Chains A and B, each alone.
Chain A
Amino acid sequence: MENNQKLVHAFHEALGIDSNLIKDNLTYQSIPEWDSISHMILISQLEEDFNVSIETDDVIDLSSFKKAREILIKLGINF
């Protein structure tokens, strides 16, 4: 699975939403499924799927699907 698909899958698993809703403009708390609780599950899912460690500043910064990709790129993941 290429990394963009992997990222969509991580969001789908963590937030429990349909994959076609997962686009760059999907933002934190814009839908009921992406609340503070599921945000923690999402962080854990991303760490597990991409084998990275996301530090607190980035946990807070990860405010959209687009931002998630940017943070993963910063952590050495290629898209």
Chain B
Amino acid sequence: MLLRDKFCLITGASKGIGKAISEIFAKEGAIIIATGRDLESLNLMVSDLPVYSAPHLVFKMDVTKEEDVLRVFNELSQNKIFIHCIVNNAGIMEDATLQMVKTDLIHKIYNTNVLGTILPSQNAIKHFLRNRCGSIINLSSIIGTKGNLGQSIYGSSKSAIIGFTKSLSKELAPLNIRVNAIAPGFIDTDMIKGMDQKFYEKNLKAIGMRRLGKPEDVAKVALFLASDLSEYVTGQIIGVDGGMII
């Protein structure tokens, strides 16, 4: 098992990519610390996970609220639980051309996607120092690496994650803490369910492999980055996009 007895905290764990990551990590022996805003769906998700050494844990945590993040990490520390890996998966996508974007929406997207990656990472570092190792896995996007029309706010928030990943990896490498990001392409999750049909078809045609990505495709790369298989890998942005061209 690749993650036997490893405590792995996943934000936005109840559905989509977060759920797929929780499932594959649990199958590999990890103890999942599932966090998100909806406690009921988190509990439901966790109830289906295989348990090997210790039960999985669930915490209500809104990544945009510093007090929520502090509460969760303090509770873990007080119970002598020090995480080995964090997956900063929580994120939102709302599309609009820049002229049509209200400031509130910019704050909402940046608070969730950027601040919601930075705050949990900052708190996780102290846990990793206790374990003398650690892995931070951030979720960027192909929109963050390539850009796309109507997605300047979302895309720039995901580009910020790339900059954060690269700089933090340099800062933490001497401490044996690895920081990497995944840049998924067009993945079959709730995020794309409400997408305009024309836009959806256009995106599908742009994928070399001619199929949508599955959350499990992303989860497999997260597993690689969480495990010792990638023990010498840091500061990398790994695309999981089936050869998509934007």
Query: What is the interface of chain A, defined by CB distance below 8 A to chain B?
Result: 36-37, 40-41, 43-44, 47-48, 53, 55-56
Which residues of B from 120 to 135 have beta carbons under 8 Å from A? 122, 125-126, 129-130
Q: Which residues on A sit within 8 Å (CB–CB) of B70?
A: 55
When distances are taken between beta carbons in the complex, the residues of chain A under 8 Å from B171 are 36-37
- B126 contacts A43, C-beta separation under 8 Å: yes
Closest to A41 in B: B129
Q: How far is the CB of A58 from chain B (nearest CB, A)?
A: 12
- Quote the shortest CB–CB distance from A52 to chain B (angstroms): 9
The residues of B that contact A53 with a CB separation of less than 8 Å are 74, 77-78
Chain B residues lying within 8 Å of A55, measured Cβ to Cβ, are 70
Closest to B173 in A: A37
CB distance from A23 to the nearest CB of B (A): 25
Give complex CA distance A53, B126 in Å.
10
Q: What are 24 pairs between A and B in contact, CB < 8 Å?
A: A36-B171, A37-B171, A37-B174, A37-B175, A40-B125, A40-B126, A40-B129, A40-B175, A41-B129, A41-B175, A43-B126, A43-B129, A44-B126, A44-B129, A44-B130, A47-B77, A47-B126, A47-B130, A48-B130, A53-B74, A53-B77, A53-B78, A55-B70, A56-B122
Which residues does chain A contribute within 8 Å of B74, judged by CB atoms?
53
Q: Is the interface of B mostly helix, strand, loop or mixed?
A: helix
Q: Which of B169-225 contact A (CB under 8 A)?
A: 171, 174-175
Quick one: closest A residue to B131, CB to CB?
A44
- Which residues of chain B from 22 to 75 have a CB within 8 Å of any chain A CB? 70, 74
Chain B, 87-113, contact with A by CB distance < 8 Å: what is the 0/1 string? 000000000000000000000000000
Shortest B136–chain A CB gap in Å is 14
Report the Cα distance A24→B78, complex, angstroms: 30
Interface residues of B in 143-175 (CB under 8 A from A): 171, 174-175
Residues of B within 8 A of A40 (CB): 125-126, 129, 175
**In this complex, which of A40, A47, A53 has the most chain B Cβ atoms within 10 angstroms of its Cβ?**
A40
Residue of A nearest to B122 (CB): A56
Complex: A40 Cα to B174 Cα, angstroms: 11
Alpha-carbon gap, A41 to B125, bound state (A): 10
Shortest distance from the beta carbon of A38 to any chain B beta carbon, whole Å: 9
A61 to B181, CA, bound (A): 31
Tell me which residues across on chain B come within 8 A of A36, comparing CB atoms.
171
User: How far does the alpha carbon of A56 sit from the alpha carbon of B67 in the complex, in Å?
Assistant: 12
Residues of A within 8 A of B174 (CB): 37
Give Cα distance in the complex from A56 to B73, angstroms. 13
